[in-house]
Amino acid sequence: MNKIFSKSWMIAVYVFLYMPIITLVVFSFNDSQLVTVWSHASIRWYHVLVHDRELISAVALSLRIAFLSALLSVFFGTFTAFALNRYKRFRGRTLLSSMASTPLVMPDVIVGLSLLLMLVSMQQWWGFPERGLLTILLGHALLGTAYATVVVTSRLREMDGKLDEAAMDLGCQPFQVFKLVTLPLLAPALVSAFLLTFTLSFDDVVLSSFLSGPGYSTLPMVVFSRARLGLNPTINAVATVTITVVSIAVIVSSFYQSRAERKRKLEVAQAYSDSNQ
Amino acid sequence: MTKILSYLRDLRHGRTVVIGVPYLWFALLIAVPVLIVLKISLSEMETTSISSMISWADGWPTLKLNFSSYLFISGDTLYVQTYLSSIEYALITTIICLAIGYPFAYFMARSPKHLQPMLLMLIMLPFWTSFLLRIYAWKTLLVSNGAINNVLLALGIIHEPLAMMNNSFSLLVGMVYSYLPFMILPLYANLSKLDLRYLEAAADLGTSPFKAFWLITVPLSKAGIIAGSMLVFIPAVGEYVIPELLGGPNTLMIGRVLWDEFFSNNDWPMASSVAVVMILLILLPMALFNKYQSEQAEGKA
């Protein structure tokens, strides 16, 4: 009885989570102009999609911003995670950790508005930066840094400092320790942080809307402006393409990571048994 | 010169860089912008600079602050109502997410160990696929000629399409749907670490499973409940996209008001004041969340 209840509860939640995604995908292959009424299967909307100049250029812009934002996020997120985990006591530590977790929960509209007002003030003083790619990138990188910090931090906590200490005892300079020991151990977390912050940037509509300038529309901005006007089958096609690419990327990367993890554990076990002989 | 050089050498080795870099980054992109919003909310025009806010009277500088937009917000019943209804929607969303998410996380933590990574990935996967597109999907499901109504009509369960769109129902469905993973993940992280021996001990001492759940499992998962609830409640208060796509004219949300003040009315001081009041409202939950985060970091929770 208990088992049946728990299983059906879990299945119900998964249905709730996946039903909208599945309908989106199914109806993207619907020939009808009406998104909600099935006529017959076709790839009509994919034809429309590839000839849609506005959408294609929005995808190109979004990909560029997402790539750069993920790089910046991983860079600053790693710094933040190190500062907070390796130095337990320094003046202003609480302030840094609160600032780093603020973008995780702060409503997007506030982050967007405050960043824009700061950038406008900067522009009044120095005539820089123009609203466009760079300003959107800063917003996304801020959001991404907060998430990357969480991902890298959880990995840093799993790693004990013993390997670093061992390397230092053997005469490594701090930077060498970082390059030869810490970084390789951290690599899987950096990859997942990159993927996560990439998708966050690729997904964002609120920050982009505040921070973009004329001529800079990201994919979510175009989708949002169309979805506001009503239902539109091309959005279903966009959704299907995005969902397919993301699902493949997530599944492949998690497969690789679990394999790398198993290999690493095996090597550690091997090393221990070798040293005990 | 040598001083500068030795200072730079120290920088290369050190903690100054590791701490300084993220500090500057967040100070520039979080602290300074919030201060600027505060400043603009107290001025009449967005162009007002700090210097023009200070006037000289009797040889002393006096700060000229303009509270007009705050007075307007507190005097206008529509604003007050909108704040209250945003908090109400966020609260209801949090409660529903907890009611659905807690049992789910509990069952997930009790399911066979080899299945758990896959179950977890299935929760994460929607989170990776576009939030905007998933909200749009609900629009296609909930409209009067949408999939849900069509199925119910075809089955003969209803005879007229249900009005599920552009009201508080569609808004709450969208909010619960988007924020549910944020509730489940911290709860699962917490519940999967729970030491089952406590429950065995309670059972040995004759406690009923139900009582053991309330007296042991729930208190021990307090940290997860707080983290999950804050991760849902705080962003939900200021949510803009979901009310814009799924809400209706009667579902008042403050995020939408801020957006309109900024983009439609171009009233930057007003938008800033709306933002500052919103920050004040979520300050306490944020402090709670930060406290939990740092406790996690110290390994206490």
Task: Return d(Cα A170, Cα A160) in angstroms, integer.
Answer: 17
For residue A39, pLDDT over 80 is answered with no
Asked, for residue A271, whether it belongs to a domain, the answer is: no
* pLDDT of B74: 75
- The count of structural domains within chain A is 1
For residue B76, pLDDT over 80 is answered with no
User: Regarding predicted confidence, which is higher, A81 or B207?
Assistant: A81
* pLDDT of A34: 73
User: Regarding predicted confidence, which is higher, B181 or B43?
Assistant: B181
Which candidate, A103, A123, A99, A119, places its Cα nearest to that of A111?
A103
Task: Return d(Cα B102, Cα B222) in angstroms, integer.
Answer: 11
Q: Which residues of B touch A73 (CB under 8 A)?
A: none
Which of A116-125, B7-16, B166-175, B255-264 bottoms out in mean pLDDT, i.e. has the lowest?
Answer: B7-16
Q: At what angle do helices B15-26 and B2-13 cross, to 10 degrees?
A: 80
How many helices (H) and strands (E) chain B has is answered by 17, 2
A101-159 pLDDT, tens per residue? 889 888 999 999 999 999 988 888 887 777 888 999 999 999 999 999 999 988 888 77
Asked, for residue A61, whether it belongs to a domain, the answer is: yes
Asked, for residue A264, whether it belongs to a domain, the answer is: no
Q: Which domain holds residue A181?
A: 53-230
Query: Domains of chain B (ranges plus CATH)?
Result: 76-298 (1.10.3720.10)
Q: At what angle do helices B222-237 and B168-191 cross, to 10 degrees?
A: 150
Asked, for residue A25, whether it belongs to a domain, the answer is: no
| Phi then psi dihedrals of residue A41, to 5 deg | -70, 135
Whole-number average pLDDT of chain B:
82
Residue of B nearest to A24 (CA): B137
Q: Please tell me the distance in Å from B33's CA to the nearest CA on chain A.
A: 5
Q: CATH number, domain at A136?
A: 1.10.3720.10
Contact call for B145 and A121, based on CB within 8 A: no
Asked, for residue A213, whether it belongs to a domain, the answer is: yes
Contact of A110 with chain B, judged by CB distance below 8 Å, is answered with yes
pLDDT, average across residues A82-110: 85
Task: Return d(Cα B180, Cα A261) in angstroms, integer.
Answer: 29
Contact call for B290 and A223, based on CB within 8 A: no
How many helices (H) and strands (E) chain A has is answered by 12, 0
Asked, for residue A240, whether it belongs to a domain, the answer is: no
pLDDT, average across residues A199-206: 92
Which of A133-147, A159-173, B82-96, B245-259 bottoms out in mean pLDDT, i.e. has the lowest?
Answer: A159-173
pTM of the model: 0.85
B89-144 pLDDT, tens per residue? 999 999 999 999 999 999 999 888 888 888 988 888 887 778 888 999 998 888 88
Q: Which residue in the set A36, A109, A258 is minimally distant from B259, CB to CB? A: A109
Q: Which residues of A touch B33 (CB under 8 A)?
A: 114-115, 117-118
Q: Do A55 and A63 form a contact (C-beta atoms < 8 A)? A: no
Q: Do B282 and B254 form a contact (C-beta atoms < 8 A)? A: no
Task: Return d(Cα B178, Cα B175) in angstroms, integer.
Answer: 5
Q: Do A40 and A31 form a contact (C-beta atoms < 8 A)? A: yes
A207-224 pLDDT, tens per residue? 999 999 888 999 999 999
Q: Please tell me the distance in Å from A87's CA to the nearest CA on chain B.
A: 8
* pLDDT of B121: 85
Cα separation values, B26 from A90, A277, B12, B20, B115, Å: 16, 51, 21, 10, 39
The helix/strand/coil state of A92 is coil
Residue B230, both tokens? 């804050």
Contact call for A24 and B32, based on CB within 8 A: no
Residue of A nearest to B32 (CA): A118
Asked, for residue A105, whether it belongs to a domain, the answer is: yes
Asked, for residue A195, whether it belongs to a domain, the answer is: yes
* pLDDT of B233: 93
